[in-house]
Chains A and B, each alone.
Chain A
Amino acid sequence: MTSVPTKNVASSAEQGAILFRRRRRNRILGLTLPGSMWLLIFFALPMFFVLRTSFNSFADAQIIQDFTFDNFKLVFSEYLYAKVLLKSLLTGLVVTVICLVLGYPVAHFIARKARGNREILFLGLIIPFWTSLVVRTYAWKILLGTNGVLNYHLMDFGIIDAPLKMLFTTSAVIIGLVHIFLPFMILPLYASIENLDTSLEEAAQDMGATRIQTFMKVVVPLTMPGIATGCMLTFLMTVNSFLTPNILGGPSDAMISNVIQSEFFGTFNWPFGSALSIVFLLFALGFVFVYNQVFDLDSEEDK
């Protein structure tokens, strides 16, 4: 007899729990809705159209509804595209390494040495973002041009006789890209150096390690998450860059984005441009995947 009401109580409690869980699930769904919609409309849908377009064919300046792999075949068979892809990846690598080498000491300095001036240094890091990327890139054009500031002064001081060709070179592109992406390297590095307990560095020195040994054996391994994140950000953004190679580079400095752009708006060959985009996207995803496996980014974070 007594078991019946007990059972009722239990089941109503269970129902309550189910109701609560359902309500919670609804609330989470509600909260993620704006983000999901945004991604759907501005990312998934366009990507789908790009994917669909990449299977169309192009003839007589006309896009023809089709389902063909010809565009992809062309991407892999034409030497030019592989070269551009390789060039993009190589530029990304060079820019990332330069940013890491330049950025690490800066991040270390801000995190460790700059006690009172930290805010000012951060401001210095952020302020360039207040100016448009286009303006900043054009500024390099003024600096590096044949009749530019740098050449003028070098000749003025008698260091060179004729202007150096600096603009429209690969070096100009790399200088511009390093300038733009350096903060994206410094910020994650700063965060992980700041998180590193100073006494670990002191412990290493106490046990006989010089500054360099301490850096190589303790600081670098323990700031690996920051190094990995910074390198990933810089690399991906560099490889994707469009504006800087367009403004500072010569014709042979075109990167993958420039080629895609010229397919879409030069020859209006949307299907082939789409195929290039898709191939490139897959390359980038593959890269991120391998990178995550190597550096184990996900598990490092919750240390």
Chain B
Amino acid sequence: MTDIDVELLNITKSWGDFTAVKNVSFKVKKGEFCSLLGPSGCGKTTIMRMISGFETPTEGIVRIAGEDMSGKKPFQRPTNLVFQHHALFPHLTVAENIAFGLKIKKQPREEIQKRVNRMLELVQLPELGDRTIRQLSGGQRQRIAIARALVNEPAVLLLDEPLSALDLKLREQMQLELKRIQHEIGTTFVFVTHDQKEAITMSDVIAVINEGVIEQMASPSDIYERPATEFVAGFIGETNLFKGKIKKGSGTSASLMCDGEEIHVQLDEKLPEGTSIGVSIRPEKIIWGAVADEATNAYEATVRETIYQGNVVHYRVVTANGLELGVDITNNGGHQVAAVGETVNIGWPIERGVPVMVRVT
């Protein structure tokens, strides 16, 4: 027995000249909640459809629970899929929908009854078995869709943006609900989404996908705190990204020039001079009134824009040489809101800046 539930090995998918997924490999551990996060058209849904068997990879191997899935049809795979628009059968009742997979597998009637009821309880809709699908609200439909998939006890549950059709409030509620369900049954979840907040809230591990390639696969906090690439830094949360070539460096300390300002950065590994690199610094990690020293990037800047957002104040500031930054300051009572045109000292300890890979065009 392996503790890897989903494994993709050098998966490529192309249609004619168009390559949707390029040489993707990753593993999802048993019981993990893994999100495939990326903008629309990045290939995340294609990856999921290859796991479920609705698409065949052009190259590469999909393994589920250690078993090679090549040539296996969707109905032969130990996966179940929750569709974006629930795809519940309108001609069947709620209970019949959930029982569908069990009836196909010719389970005894009492067994079906028992498991359907258990599922209805799991999604906290025990009273709705006799309803038709049309009598359900959007959130209820999605819960039943999840119950219908989970009743088959799949090794892996695949979810294709199941919450995207719901309104914000309901979506947030369902995120917690999904998390609870996953915790309760311990099934491996692979969750496709374009919503970075959703991915961060729910996942144990996130694979950020862009143009058919996994940019980074790591825990939510690593994705946010230590983005590996320019794309990841920009796609997840707000960030300041400074791009330049490494000017000089001793060991893993380096600096680069961006918009006339020198920016010091701590590299993960030594890189040759002239390498194109980016430095990402989150707006909330910038210090207001910073003092320049060896360990700090500090600049004198002018406030160009002040956006008061209640819990935070968001500033756009620009240095004397023209480097523009976004700064978020928590409105904790100690902060004097600065007006446009005021001069401020801003900066950050060098280790807070994250070196990221940039695309050389």
A contact set with B: CB distance below 8 Å: 197, 199-200, 202-210, 213, 217-218, 221-222, 303
Contacting pair A208 B104 (CB below 8 A): yes
Q: Give bound CA distance, A36 to B91, whole Å.
A: 38
Using a CB-CB cutoff of 8 Å, which residues 87-125 of chain B contact chain A? 87-91, 100-101, 104-105
- Chain A binding site: helix, strand, loop or mixed by DSSP? helix
Q: Which of B73, B79, B81, B91 contacts A203 (CB 8 A)?
A: B81
User: Is B26 interfacial (CB 8 A cutoff)?
Assistant: no
- Tally of chain B residues near chain A (CB < 8 A): 23
Residues in A with CB closer than 8 Å to B89 are 200, 203-204, 218, 222
Q: Which of A204, A205, A217 contacts B73 (CB 8 A)?
A: A205
B contact set with A: CB distance below 8 Å: 52, 54, 73-75, 79-81, 83-85, 87-91, 100-101, 104-105, 148-149, 152
Going nearest first, the 4 A-B pairs with the smallest beta carbon separation are A207-B101, A199-B87, A203-B87, A205-B74
Q: How many A-B residue pairs have CB under 8 A?
A: 59
Q: Which residue of B lies closest to A197 (CB)?
A: B87
Report the minimal beta-carbon distance from A187 to chain B, rounded to whole angstroms. 23
Q: Which residue of A lies closest to B98 (CB)?
A: A207
Q: Which of B79, B87, B91, B104 contacts A209 (CB 8 A)?
A: B104
Q: Give bound CA distance, A202 to B84, whole Å.
A: 12
Contacting pair B73 A199 (CB below 8 A): no
5 further A-B contacts with Cβ under 8 Å, apart from A199-B83, A202-B54, are A206-B54, A207-B104, A218-B89, A222-B89, A222-B90
Q: Which of A200, A208, A218, A222 contacts B75 (CB 8 A)?
A: A208
Report the minimal beta-carbon distance from B21 to chain A, rounded to whole angstroms. 19
26 A-B contacts (beta carbon < 8 Å): A197-B87, A199-B84, A199-B85, A200-B87, A202-B54, A202-B81, A202-B83, A203-B81, A203-B83, A203-B87, A203-B89, A204-B89, A205-B74, A205-B75, A206-B52, A206-B54, A206-B75, A206-B149, A207-B100, A207-B104, A207-B152, A208-B75, A208-B101, A209-B75, A210-B75, A213-B104
Residues in A with CB closer than 8 Å to B101 are 207-208
Contacting pair B52 A204 (CB below 8 A): no
